[in-house]
Amino acid sequence: MAIHLTDTQREVQALAREFAGNEIAPNAARWNEAREVPLDLLRRLGGIGLLGVVVPEEYGGSGLDATSLCLVMEEIACADAGVSVAVAAQNGLVASPLLRAGTDEQKREWLPRLATGEVFGCYALTEPDVGSDAAALRTRAVATGDGWEVTGAKQWISNGGIADLFIIFARTGGEGAHGISAFITPRAEGLVVGREIPKMGLHSSSTVEIALDGLRVPGSGLLGTEGGGLTLALATLDGGRITIAAQAVGIARAALELAVAYASERVAFGGPIARLQGVQFPIAEVAAQIDAARLLTLHAAALRDAGRPHGAAGAKAKLFASSVAVRAADVAVQTLGGYGYSAEFAAERYYRDAKITEIYEGTSEIQRVVIARSLFGDAAR
């Protein structure tokens, strides 16, 4: 599990760290208070290649790998987890399935624009009554003479409010996993982006409901094979959970750095509280856990880059890293005491942002299912 970064990976890590420190961190509190999605900033991320990290150079991207994306995600999430959602969506939830299943025409049309931030995309799988059990989705696509007509509803769609491009999963056949297909479509009549859903955290990101009322998608909008949608969706999430693990590491690191800085400066009982074991030990434990979470995450990314099975490794990384993020944020709030509970300090934002990493792109319970099935096989079903 030793991680050896290449010069290129270190360079993109340094680029992301510098940009995050100079352009994101100083503005994060303001964006979150205003619940603002900083579109200009996101387009600048595209301009330096961070929205198209995994997009091949032939399509205008950086042509890098999953490990590089994890390094970028940690740096951006450390500055503002909400901003990192757009990076994850562009690279993992939109570009990844396009690269896996798209036609040459679909790739040429959309990947260069996604990589630069000219357009933003989203991945519409979850529905009001369908979350973890994706095979039960109800949105339906009916074949017409020249394409498909899609009707249904989607919920909790990250990036949806700023999206120009939508990857939509709908039922084209019978019940169950094999009746689902994927479609790619720009905004069009019959696709209504609903309200921004009020959230506990990630206030600088967009999360919306989508209504599909007779949306017409041409035959060329089928992504992959008919009936292959759920396989594509789950393969996308296999990679996406690694990206979210990296996001969780970034949030945890930000919380740790804040706790260390505060404890080193806060004076009580005749000196800095950092000399007190009751303060030291929780922070020290979190520091060890963050290093372990990062190693699990980069190990899973390295397996993906090598073309090796990575589903269980990604599940382990997300399960552990998300729990560490929640723990680190809790320790930061506790270390800061009353200031940690105040919205004027970043600790409470980290506390709110961390929790979602245990929920989206597969809850912690689902990650345990994935891990258990990798251990027990059919006996676990």
Q: pLDDT of 297-339, one tens digit each?
A: 999 999 999 999 999 999 999 999 999 999 999 999 999 999 9
352 neighbors 201 (Cβ within 8 angstroms): yes
- β-strands 121-124, 165-171: how paired? parallel
Catalytic residue among 18, 118, 361, 365: 361
Cα(58)–Cα(342) distance, rounded to whole angstroms?
48
Residue 376 and residue 6: Cα distance in Å, rounded? 36
Mean predicted confidence (pLDDT) in 118-130 = 94
Would you state the pLDDT for residue 4? 87
Tell me, yes or no, if 361 is annotated catalytic: yes
How confident is the prediction for the chain on average, in pLDDT? 95
pLDDT in tens, 210-245: 999 999 999 999 999 999 999 999 999 999 999 999
Calculate mean pLDDT across residues 111-118.
96
Asked if 121 and 159 count as a contact pair (C-beta separation under 8 A), the reply is yes
Collapsed DSSP state (helix, strand, coil) of residue 200 = coil
Position 2 scores a pLDDT of: 54
pLDDT tens, residue by residue, 276-296: 999 999 999 999 999 999 999
Q: Please check the confidence at residue 55 and state whether its pLDDT lies above 60.
A: yes
Q: What number is the average pLDDT over the span 251-275?
A: 96
Choose which CATH entry (3.40.630.40, 3.30.70.1400, 1.10.540.10, 1.20.140.10) describes domain 230-380. 1.20.140.10
Residue ranges per structural domain of the chain? 7-119, 122-226, 230-380
**Strand, coil or helix: what is 8?**
helix
Q: Homologous superfamily of 7-119 in CATH?
A: Acyl-CoA dehydrogenase/oxidase, N-terminal domain (1.10.540.10)
Cα-based distances in Å from 248 to 80, 83, 141, 337, 350: 11, 13, 35, 23, 10
Q: What digits encode the pLDDT tens for the residues 20-51?
A: 999 999 999 999 999 999 999 999 999 999 99
Whole-number percent of the chain with pLDDT over 90: 93
Question: Which amino acid is present at 358?
Answer: E
Going 151 to 156 to 157 to 161, the CA torsion angle's sign is positive
Query: Which CATH entry fits the domain spanning 122-226: 3.30.10.20, 2.40.110.10, 3.40.50.300, 2.170.270.10?
Result: 2.40.110.10
Whether the per-residue pLDDT at 3 is higher than 80: the answer is: no
